[in-house]
Structure 1
Amino acid sequence: MIPIPEEAVTALRAVMDQTAYIPDLCTLLYPNWDVDRHEHEEQVKNEIHTKFLQKWWPHHQTLKTAAIKGELVQEAGYFWSQTSLERFRIVAQFMIWLFMWDDEFDCGDLQTDIEQADICRRDTMAFLKWCLEVPRSDFEAPPGGQHNSGCMQDILRAMQSSLSHVSMRRFADSLYQYVEAVGEVQKSRMASLPTWDDYLANRLHNIAMFPCILAIEYAYDLKVPAWVIDSEAMQSIFRETVISVVVANDIFSFKKEALVGQIDNALFLKVAHGGHRGFQRGLEETIQELVESRDRFIASESEILTSEEYLKLPEQTQEDIKTFILSCKFMIVGNVKWSKSTKRYLLEHAPDGVTIVNLNTKKQ
């Protein structure tokens, strides 16, 4: 177990003999937001499992096994459900890099080694900026160091060939912010138990959802005006997409994280800060956060699609905006479907779509 504050230890001990039951969140919260698996999922999964992982992480067998077991290509298929094979291949590779890079901090060698983790973040940032900031000759060698991000050179080159300068700039900045944010959560989880607002403020960026959202434009070859992306309503949609993914993923991953003492989890905070130690009660309060986030998403979507500015746009631009918003819904619902089914989270399943989170380790 990694070092955590004493107050967190007390809260964890209080729930470790309890069981909670997660209702079918797709039916309960998103009955009209369905998403299908990508038609090319199996092909791309085979390519990634047999070639891509071995090429870029040949000596990281534990992380490779976790990536394969976690069905990460399935999650990418939900996130970018209706894209072409060529573009799905790129965003699926991007998803794999995100998990492989993050897992070194989350459950790999860098989990408790702050010094080496800082070196990895520094070297990763240098490499990403080398790829993104200045056009490079194919004969110029990239910077070395401890970053395990070599695959991103081809991924980012593919995105640069399609996205506008403004869109690529926005994506790059979100990627840099993600890399920096991973360091903050690693340090804070060992220092103190955050408030709900502080947790969300940090978690919004360290889960890498903003880069995934901004990759929608590449994935679907969309042309969305910059003023639409930057509008308050669209930024609200982005924020609620991230909140919904963060909170739902935290619900399903709670057991996996609790067993190793990770406290950067929305459900755990509801239990620890709620003045009670009831696991099911904390779960119900966490689900209510999803309800409120969904409602804010719907209100922002309506604001965009009924605005005079939107109605004056060319038909194709309107369709591109609708596709962008629809893909955000795919991410929200797809994350729930993937989180329920992945083997990463040590879950059990009951009838009617109910998921069981059993923390009584004596009964495992």
Structure 2
Amino acid sequence: MDTTHRTIHKSLRVSLKGQNVTIPSMYEVFPEWKPQIHPQWVVDKRTAKGLKAADFAVFAAVWNPKCSFEVLCTAAKYYAWYFVYDDIFDCGTLKYNKSAAIEYRDASLQYFKFFLCGEGSPPDLSSFDTELRNGLHCWDEVGTHICQVNSKESRQVLCDEMLRYVGSLDNVDSIFEIYETPSPEQYWERREATAAVHCVSATIPFVYGIDVTKEQMEAQAMKDLWRHTSFFVHISNDMFSFRKEVNDDQIENLIPVLMMNENVTCNEAMQKGYALLQEEAAGFYDAKKRLIADAKDEDKNVSEAFIEGCLNIAMGLAHWSYCGHRYFKPWERDSQDVIHFTVGPPPAPPVSAVCTSSESESFLGKFPIWDMCLNLVHFSPLIIWTVGAIAPRFTKLASVSA
């Protein structure tokens, strides 16, 4: 983004600092949903320490509460990969390098076509630096497992969504190069692809051990279920990640878009976001009802898997956001799961919350994957903790950095 575009919303960026905001409880939107944690998500005491510090694997364990441990591991790696890869564009090497972003995006498209569907040849990544090479290679093990388990038709569903996601990625805040003030509709058109929610949903056949056909995926009720799940995740993630993105000098987020379009305060925009969440939940229930009613006998297991999986994805991500420290600190969340914060750097922890232990440094230093993480991207300590914690189980992934 050039200097003009970077400064055009300076007044908005400045005005955000210091505003007080409240995020109502996400759990109230789907009150019947309760987190079910995979019983094997913590495998030993040493791993448990890392997972407790990050709370990252909560999403994988909630999203996949009934799958095998091997599938759980792959799902956790896939979710970690998404943050690693996405941060390369948002706050890593490609943040403001448009030509390099296009080149890397094209190589990524070639990579997923070859890996998931056997189309073409693998891309030559030798011209990219370590961060960018690892950004793709750390998905190798995920793709290998998926290809071993799912039919080509199911892999094609995932491939289509991966290509849509990767093809939409651009430099941070690039939508403001096209629209000085994008409308909510223009924002959603871009956000639906860049958030990769459909990519996660497309792994439900892998997680639940089913195969899907093109006909099943094209049923209108199924499409609506996916769409409402996707928008629920977009909205909730934008609400949770808003402060972090503002601190990273990003305003490509639903909250600033609503503020600019409706001339409202930050907190008013947040409440409007919550109202949109409620609308998407109502749409989800309607799509669920139609999907069950329309399902033929041979479709019932697919319908049931996608209903359960989509709900776990929508609420699992919200649950992880509450449990982890990527967006908020524990003392900013009250007993009713309402979050209160001031836009700007998170406040210092109370004295009782300060940890002076050096265990994390010595723990991570034991694993070669730590070096890969440092070279991969300047992402949250949350993700560094996660990959370090699961490294003993994922030796193939660690070898990528060798």
Structure 1 residues 10 and 280: CA distance shift in structure 2, 3 A: same
1:153 aligns with 2:140: yes
Checking the alignment, whether the CA contact within 8 Å between 2:41 and 2:57 is kept in structure 1 is: yes
| CA distance in 2: counterparts of 1:45 and 1:362, whole angstroms | 30
List gaps (5 residues or longer) in structure 2.
349-402
Q: In the alignment, what sits opposite 2:208?
A: 220
Q: What is aligned with 1:53?
A: none
Post-superposition offset of 1:248: 0.3
1:250 aligns with 2:232: no
Q: Distance between the aligned counterparts of 1:113 and 1:345, measured in 2?
A: 26
Q: Which residue of 1 aligns with 2:80?
A: 96
Aligned residue identity for 2:247: L
Instruction: Say if 2:107 and 2:123, in contact at 8 Å, map to a contact too.
Output: no
Query: Contact 1:270–1:282 at 8 Å: present in 2 too?
Result: yes
Once the 2 structures are TM-superposed, how far is the Cα of residue 275 of structure 1 from its aligned partner?
A: 2.0
Partner of 1:234: 222
Alignment-derived partner of residue 321 in structure 1: 303
5 Å matches for 1:1-364? 4=5, 6=7, 8-26=9-27, 28-43=28-43, 71-134=55-118, 143-145=124-126, 146=128, 147-148=133-134, 149-183=136-170, 187-190=174-177, 192-276=180-264, 278-307=265-294, 310=295, 312-314=296-298, 317-347=299-329, 348-359=332-343
Question: 1:143 and 1:118 mapped to 2: Cα distance?
Answer: 15
Rate the CA distance shift 1:360–1:188 in 2: closer, same or farther, 3 A: closer
Match of 1:62 in 2: none
Give the RMSD, CA atoms, in angstroms.
Answer: 3.0
Deviation for aligned residue 1:111: 1.1
Scaled by the length of structure 2, what TM-score is found? 0.76
Higher mean C-alpha displacement, 185-194 vs 203-212: 185-194
Give distance in 2, aligned partners of 1:90 and 1:300: 29
Q: Percent identity?
A: 21
Look up the match of 1:59: none
Q: Which runs of 5+ in 1 are unaligned?
A: 51-66
Secondary structure of 2:340 counterpart: strand
Q: Deviations 1:34-75 (Å, cap 9, x if unpaired)? A: 22232222239977999xxxxxxxxxxxxxxxx997644322
Q: Which moved more, 1:294-303 or 1:154-163?
A: 154-163
Show structure 1 runs of 4+ deviating over 4 A: 1-7, 44-50, 67-71, 360-364
Q: Alignment partner of 1:161: what SS?
A: helix
Question: Could you give the per-residue CA deviations for residues 286-344 of structure 1, whole angstroms, max 9, x where no partner exists?
Answer: 1111011111111111111122xx2x414xx4134212211100111111111123212
Kindly tell me the number of residue pairs found equivalent between the two proteins. 338
Quick one: which amino acid aligns to residue 231 of structure 2?
I
Contact 1:174 1:211 (8 Å CA) reproduced: yes
Mean Cα displacement is larger for which, 279-288 or 337-346?
Answer: 337-346
Per the alignment, do residues 118 and 108 of structure 1 end up closer, same or farther by CA in structure 2, a change over 3 Å counting? Answer: same
* Cα distance, 1:265 vs structure 2: 0.8
Query: Aligned letter for 2:307?
Result: I
Q: Provide the residue aligned with 1:63 in structure 2.
A: none
Q: Is the 8 A contact 2:22 2:338 kept in 1?
A: yes
**Residue 282 of structure 1, CA deviation:** 1.0
- For the 8 Å contact 1:34–1:330, the answer to whether it is kept is no
Q: Which amino acid aligns with 2:92?
A: G
Instruction: Indicate the SS of the match to 1:356.
Output: strand
Decide whether the 8 Å contact of 1:35 with 1:334 is kept in 2: yes
Q: Summarize the Cα distance change of 1:45–1:279 in structure 2 as closer, same or farther, 3 Å threshold.
A: farther
Q: Which sits farther off after the overlay, 125-134 or 325-334? A: 125-134
Structure 1 residue 97: Cα displacement: 1.4
> C-alpha displacement at 1:80, in angstroms?
2.3
Residues 287/68 of structure 1: CA separation in 2 closer, same or farther (3 Å cut): same
Distance 1:282 1:229 in 2: 34
Deviation at 1:163, TM superposition (A): 1.6
Range with bigger deviation, 170-179 or 67-76: 67-76
Residues 45 and 144 of structure 1, relative CA distance in 2, 3 Å threshold: farther
Counterpart-to-counterpart distance in 1, 2:216 and 2:122: 38
Tell me the secondary structure at the aligned position of residue 352 of structure 1.
Answer: coil
Give yes or no for contact 1:247–1:267 (8 Å, CA) kept in 2.
no
> Which amino acid in the other structure matches residue 158 of structure 1?
H
Deviation at 1:172, TM superposition (A): 0.7
Contact 2:21 2:342 in 1 (8 A): yes
Q: Is the 8 A contact 2:225 2:284 kept in 1?
A: yes
CA distance in 2, matches of 1:354, 1:240: 23
Task: Call closer, same or farther: CA 1:257–1:185 in 2, change over 3 Å.
Answer: closer
- Asked if the contact 1:244–1:290 (Cα under 8 Å) also holds between the matched residues in 2, the reply is yes
Matched residue SS, 2:118: coil
How far did 1:106 drift?
1.2
